[in-house]
Structure 1
Amino acid sequence: MDVRELLTEPVLEYGDRTVAEAGQILRCTVGSGLHGIAIAGTDDHDEMGLFVEPARWLLGLGYTRDSYVARSQAEGARSGPGDTDLVMYSLRKYLRLAVKGNPTALLPLFAPEPDLLFCNELGHELRALRQSFLSQAAATRVLGFMQAQRKALVNGGRKVPNRPELVERYGYDTKYASHALRLAMQGRELAQHGRLTLPMPEAERQRVLEVKSGQVKELQTVLDEIDAVAAEVVQALESGRTPLPQRADTATIEEWAVNVHRRFWDWA
């Protein structure tokens, strides 16, 4: 499936689609479906892809955009069931995000085969390096994303609540709360076991679904659980009882990245 088959007439589009398609090495489903916490009829469809930039983008004089974005909704409009959001990053931008432990950027590395929409030889090589990206810094970054969501959930913010229908029905934005809990649980798995399981392990997946579907009546119950899981992450990292190295193996990743660009550009 190429990008044009996904969004033939996107409502919103940034970047150079032609370059993204020509340089594509990996694209997969992300979002609730990948985590195993989608609820039929309520979630949109999210994808992330990676592309190798042409040499002129890196060595030339012109300004280039290091991502391609296509949406089936207009700017600022909330995506809903049946909508598609696609973001494709240049390989260099993606690697910088993933090395820092950006939780969403890590997903293409660990997505199961059925969720891969495109993956060529270079994409498979990148996925084989997945463990090189995991580190204590990555676990800390995941925890930071969770804490930002928790803070917004409690104190409000520009995007919270952005689902007033859920707040009216359940008393809080259950979808937003479920994502905060998911992040805490995935940070715990990273810190304690040095891995990221997708979809989520069954017990955690079911608990997140309970929150998302409004079965947990009190927001404070969710917040207490998030805090308890986050404390386990901190304890694992501070005690040194973690299989993760301090930092990502940037030397290995960089060596591969340089090699990939030379091969893609057909440079000796």
Structure 2
Amino acid sequence: MTEPSKILLSGIVGSTAYGLAGPDSDIDRLGVFAAPTADFHGLDFPQESVVSSKPDITLHEARKYASLALSGNPTVSELMWLPDNLYETRHPLGDELIGIRQAFLSAKRTRDAYLGYATQQFKRLEARGDGSFSADTRKRTAKHARHLLRLCSQGLELFSTGQLRIRLDDPQRYLDFGERVADGDIDHARRVMAGYEAAFDEKPSVLPDEPNRAVVEAWLRRVRAAFYEVQR
């Protein structure tokens, strides 16, 4: 596991952060860490990601994290937008990362990423048919449906306002949607998807055409400088 001293930012994400967690929900953690700068000077790059199940945490090295966030990856990006009480580690360079979160945003990548992830969820729903499946499969179907709606609503808000709200205003809306789709109403999910696709097309975006890579690059270079030690 990555040394705590090298973790720049970490926090509780997923259903707990959205307000959708149930009694059986896992607590998911996400973080970004800095590998020693000298490790990039050899033949092989250091490990880019560290995943643990005890506890459930995924850590991405700073360069990989920045690349994923620049692509609009919703799961990775939410780390920079958590409510303060959900952060568990905040290095000064992690605070800087939160401070430049707008630099990662762009209109097309936000649209494509959020709708793309939502479409993945919908395909999983569609493959399960009319709701005539086991209790365990039904539970997974309801979960995928909830996250489909969440991705669409969060993505559209980010696209149109430039702000990503992690905690959902009305969690029950998403829970009810999940149960309805799990009961077999796949057409309802299809209509919701179509409605959000149309909304993305109709609403103007406040986001720029391209992310500000220069700002992100400058942050990453500060990380490299901070974690450079001469190896003898």
TM category (shorter chain) comes to 0.7 to 0.9
**Counterpart amino acid of 2:160?**
Q
Count of equivalent residues? 225
**Counterpart amino acid of 2:52?**
A
Alignment of 1:72-221 (within 5 A): 72=54, 84-136=55-107, 137-155=109-127, 164-167=134-137, 173-200=141-168, 202-203=169-170, 205-212=171-178, 214=179, 217=183, 218-221=185-188
Question: Which of the numbers 200, 212, 217 marks the counterpart of 1:233?
Answer: 200
User: What CA deviation, in whole Å up to 9, does each residue of 1:83-108 have, x standing for no partner?
Assistant: x4211110000000001000001111
Match of 2:228 in 1: 265
Partners of 1:168 and 1:112 lie apart in 2 by: 31
Partners of 1:100 and 1:258 lie apart in 2 by: 19
* Displacement of 1:192: 1.5
* Displacement of 1:134: 1.5
CA shift in 2, pair 1:66/1:168, >3 Å: closer
CA shift in 2, pair 1:185/1:45, >3 Å: same
**Counterpart amino acid of 1:248?**
P
Give the alignment's Cα RMSD to 1 decimal: 2.3
Could you tell me the percent identity over the aligned residues? 29
Give TM-score, length-normalised by structure 2. Answer: 0.88
Partners of 2:126 and 2:44 lie apart in 1 by: 44
Gaps of 5+ in 2: none
For the residue of structure 2 that corresponds to 1:29, the secondary structure is: strand
* Displacement of 1:222: 2.8
Match of 1:50 in 2: 32
Contact map agreement 2:13 2:30 (CA 8 A) in 1 = yes
**Counterpart amino acid of 1:186?**
Q
Gaps of 5+ in 1: 1-16, 73-83
**Counterpart amino acid of 2:228?**
W
Give TM-score, length-normalised by structure 1. Answer: 0.77
**Counterpart amino acid of 2:10?**
R
Partners of 1:115 and 1:191 lie apart in 2 by: 24
* Displacement of 1:174: 0.9
Moved over 3 A (4+): 166-169
For the residue of structure 1 that corresponds to 2:56, the secondary structure is: strand
* Displacement of 1:167: 4.4
* More deviation, 227-236/112-121: 227-236
* Displacement of 1:164: 3.7
For the residue of structure 2 that corresponds to 1:145, the secondary structure is: helix
Q: Higher helix share goes to which structure?
A: 2
